[in-house]
């Protein structure tokens, strides 16, 4: 058995798939679940072809959330809004590599605000672009669907990409967690964890189920068993 136990992967249900008319109830329900973070997708209609919610809604979610808010900024020029999202309750702030020509500066801004700093990569973006900044990151979000809409199918190449990112992070001595966003279900969760994923974002799979609490509990059991099998 490995003397250094692998931390248990985290579960981050995506509120993009929740009932927007009952966000307080959804947040309170997730507070009784196996969720570790609450994933919040902010979309501006420019970087992605959709608009979701912004700062006032995030503030409202934060008032009722039991878990840290994992805020994924799918927006242009995120540097102008980082402090406002921190003040609205964000614990993690993830920006897109593709939206930040001055990425190092933006990452440092996030850290100075006291948040975990994350960078997201679109499906077409290779992991090696993070080589020179990986050591500064707390989180790397691999998009396993094209960003902008929930309910999409998982892109199979994500597994290879996660393994490549894990190797890069180890080589760089980076502590960054690997987060997977899009199309995560019980059918691919174990394979993602085996490839190196540390955080699983699940939206439609959780909220479209008959019992989201039971679905998250089953997902927790599955990833726990996967980690345990690696250690034996």
Q: Hey, which residues are catalytic here?
A: 41, 181
Tokens standing for 145?
Answer: 């669907």
148: left (phi over 0), alpha (psi -120 to 50) or beta: left
Q: H/E element holding 115? A: none
- CA–CA gap between residue 42 and residue 92 (Å, rounded): 13
Task: State phi, psi for 222 to the nearest 5 degrees.
Answer: -65, -50
Rg, the chain, Cα only = 16
How far apart, in whole angstroms, are the C-alpha atoms of residue 232 and residue 62?
39
173's tokens: 């001595």
Rounded to whole angstroms, the Cα distance separating 220 from 35 reads: 9
């Amino acid at each position: 058995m490995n003397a250094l136990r692998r931390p248990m992967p985290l579960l981050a249900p995506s509120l993009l798939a929740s009932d927007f008319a009952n966000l307080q109830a959804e947040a309170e329900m997730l507070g009784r679940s196996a969720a570790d973070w609450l994933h919040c997708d902010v979309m501006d209609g420019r970087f992605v072809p959709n608009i979701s919610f912004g700062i006032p809604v995030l503030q409202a979610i934060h008032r009722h959330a039991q878990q840290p808010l994992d805020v994924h900024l799918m927006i242009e020029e995120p540097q102008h809004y980082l402090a406002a999202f921190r003040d609205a309750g964000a614990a993690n702030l993830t920006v897109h590599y593709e939206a930040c020509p001055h990425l190092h500066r933006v990452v440092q801004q996030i850290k100075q605000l006291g948040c975990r700093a994350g960078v997201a990569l679109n499906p077409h973006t290779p992991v090696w672009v993070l080589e020179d900044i990986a050591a500064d990151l707390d989180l790397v979000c691999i998009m396993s669907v094209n960003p902008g809409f929930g309910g999409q199918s998982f892109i199979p190449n994500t597994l290879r990409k996660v393994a490549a990112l894990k190797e890069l992070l180890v080589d760089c001595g980076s502590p960054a967690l690997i987060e997977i966003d899009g199309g995560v279900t019980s059918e691919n969760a174990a394979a993602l964890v085996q490839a190196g994923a540390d955080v699983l974002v699940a939206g439609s799979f959780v909220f479209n189920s008959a019992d989201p609490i039971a679905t998250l509990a089953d997902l927790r059991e599955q990833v726990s068993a996967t980690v345990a099998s690696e250690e034996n």
